[in-house]
A and B are shown apart, each in its own frame.
Chain A
């Protein structure tokens, strides 16, 4: 192996990121990931365990862990915390009745030591539904402005139409990249 290929390999390694996609059930986590990956989104069943996808975006290799959101499997989320660079928190913007639940889950998630330093992107998903709250309302509902422990951003989006998904991904990747390069 020549020096160049070793360097290339190291370079490649640098450009890898690990993202965790979490949120309550019915938020649209799997749909977002499949949409980003260009897969069919019409026949997605509720996630029983987890999905792992490797996506390429802006020259970065993203290892995306999409873990089911049902109450009985939320306790397993912690198995995926290690070495996470970014958390994508997905909210069903039309689910007014569980806004408090999603706020509480997010709050307890951010207390997790192993996620310290991870960037947080909140996707206010399902903007295509008539009953969807705006990103501003979600931001208030989740009390995002009180978060000081993590870099965060909120992005209104629709996994069904694909609207603004890339914009959100751009932010979280940029944020992680700037953090990693700062350390070097």
Chain B
């Protein structure tokens, strides 16, 4: 539920005690109609605006429509089905009208691939035309790592949104070196794709970003340090690594000889794995609490010790994983830059535990 709705509900509770489902639904309906009329007015007003502004205005209106739709989705819990249906129809009518209006005022130029017509379902089963918005598209590697050449070994999105690191050996890789001007804006969300790395130390700890998701494949003799992840971490084909990570969901496949220092708010799972050791997340830096908050992770809820093994659906403990003994628990992690000369020693020292 969005925060504004939360507030509304709260306000209502103050005035009239616990609100009934009907009053909440009625209130929603009123608000919905107000917002709908307002959007409708903005669409009608479009023809009076100057042409150069149209695209921008249309986008703004679209954002509002989407927001309204999201609110409606949230409200489905208490909304009567008739109201649900009506709101959906009315939202659809708005989108339709916006598109018509837009086409009227600013006709699409021929051969343009930039026309925005989002939220249109495409398919063979009766959907409309397809012109997906490509706002996120940029120079990101989309090919699997196996075909990657040196030139694509690390490509960064213009907007610093996705960092792809692959085909590297004996390197110290730090997220901070990819942030051209470090800001304190922790609302910036970044995804990481790591693949085919050997003998690398990967430091993804930065207060100026929140990590959206991490995808990992084919790492050998590597160490990863990472701040809290907003969604999930997915790991494939890794061997002899130490990962220090925090996330909502943790999945590891076809990997062996790993030590995972983990904070996970749901049960971690392993599949086709062996010799895995789990330990609690021990990264400690100033501002970690804020980072957990930014990633919406509950710091008190850590299920690192209740791992589910998909190859072992029995009552007895899985033979493929266990918890790291307390005496081996490492609490100090090198967060500063590591020179090439020291890299080998640092890696050896951290990794020898897992052998």
Assembled-state Cα–Cα distance A131/B212 (Å)? 8
Interface residues on chain A, number (Cβ under 8 Å)? 59
Q: How far is the CB of A63 from chain B (nearest CB, A)?
A: 17
User: Which residues of A138-174 have CB atoms within 8 Å of chain B's CB atoms?
Assistant: 139, 144-145, 147-148, 151-156, 160-168, 170-171, 174
User: Which residues of A12-49 have CB atoms within 8 Å of chain B's CB atoms?
Assistant: 25-26, 35-36, 38, 42-46, 48
Known contacts being A130-B161, A134-B133, A153-B125, is A46 close to B73, with CB within 8 Å?
no
CB atoms of A44 and B134 under 8 A apart: no
- What residues of B have a CB within 8 angstroms of the CB of A175 in the complex? 125-126
- What residues of A have a CB within 8 angstroms of the CB of B126 in the complex? 151, 153, 171, 174-175, 178
- Asked if B130 is at the interface (CB within 8 A of a chain A CB), the reply is yes
Assembled-state Cα–Cα distance A48/B142 (Å)? 30
- Asked if B66 is at the interface (CB within 8 A of a chain A CB), the reply is yes
CB atoms of A129 and B191 under 8 A apart: yes
- Asked if B33 is at the interface (CB within 8 A of a chain A CB), the reply is no
Assembled-state Cα–Cα distance A58/B242 (Å)? 50
CB atoms of B272 and A171 under 8 A apart: no
Assembled-state Cα–Cα distance A36/B74 (Å)? 9
Assembled-state Cα–Cα distance A147/B140 (Å)? 28
Known contacts being A94-B212, A130-B136, is A71 close to B253, with CB within 8 Å?
yes
- What residues of A have a CB within 8 angstroms of the CB of B140 in the complex? 96, 131
Q: How far is the CB of B162 from chain A (nearest CB, A)?
A: 4
- What residues of B have a CB within 8 angstroms of the CB of A94 in the complex? 191, 212-213, 215
- Asked if B275 is at the interface (CB within 8 A of a chain A CB), the reply is no
Q: How far is the CB of B219 from chain A (nearest CB, A)?
A: 13
Against A, the Cβ 8 Å flags (1 = close, 0 = not) of B136-166 are: 1100111011000000000001010110000
CB atoms of A162 and B73 under 8 A apart: yes
- What residues of A have a CB within 8 angstroms of the CB of B74 in the complex? 38, 162
- Asked if B263 is at the interface (CB within 8 A of a chain A CB), the reply is no
CB atoms of B81 and A58 under 8 A apart: yes
- Asked if A8 is at the interface (CB within 8 A of a chain B CB), the reply is no
User: Which residues of B52-99 have CB atoms within 8 Å of chain A's CB atoms?
Assistant: 66, 69-70, 72-74, 76-77, 81, 84-85, 88
CB atoms of A59 and B191 under 8 A apart: no
CB atoms of A131 and B193 under 8 A apart: yes
How many B residues are at the interface, by size bracket? 35 or more
- Asked if B323 is at the interface (CB within 8 A of a chain A CB), the reply is no
Binds A, one of B20-28, B35-43, B115-123, B338-346: B115-123
CB atoms of B231 and A97 under 8 A apart: no
Assembled-state Cα–Cα distance A130/B162 (Å)? 7
Q: How far is the CB of B66 from chain A (nearest CB, A)?
A: 6
- What residues of B have a CB within 8 angstroms of the CB of A38 in the complex? 74, 76-77
Known contacts being A26-B234, A42-B265, A46-B266, is A168 close to B123, with CB within 8 Å?
no
User: Which of A44, A126, A155, A161 is the one whose CB lies under 8 Å from B266?
Assistant: A44
User: Which of A35, A72, A95, A144 is the one whose CB lies under 8 Å from B310?
Assistant: A72
- Asked if A54 is at the interface (CB within 8 A of a chain B CB), the reply is no
- Asked if A100 is at the interface (CB within 8 A of a chain B CB), the reply is yes
Against A, the Cβ 8 Å flags (1 = close, 0 = not) of B232-276 are: 101010000000000011010100000000000111010110000
- Nearest first, the 10 A-B pairs at minimum CB distance are A153-B123, A151-B125, A131-B191, A130-B161, A38-B77, A136-B132, A45-B266, A162-B73, A45-B267, A131-B162
Residue positions of A touching B, CB distance < 8 A: 25-26, 35-36, 38, 42-46, 48, 56, 58-59, 70-73, 94-97, 100, 119, 126, 129-137, 139, 144-145, 147-148, 151-156, 160-168, 170-171, 174-175, 178
Residue positions of B touching A, CB distance < 8 A: 66, 69-70, 72-74, 76-77, 81, 84-85, 88, 118-119, 121-127, 130-134, 136-137, 140-142, 144-145, 157, 159, 161-162, 189-191, 193, 195, 212-213, 215, 217, 231-232, 234, 236, 248-249, 251, 253, 265-267, 269, 271-272, 296, 298, 301, 303, 308, 310-311, 313
7 A-B residue pairings within 8 Å (CB atoms): A36-B76, A42-B296, A42-B298, A48-B310, A96-B140, A151-B123, A151-B126
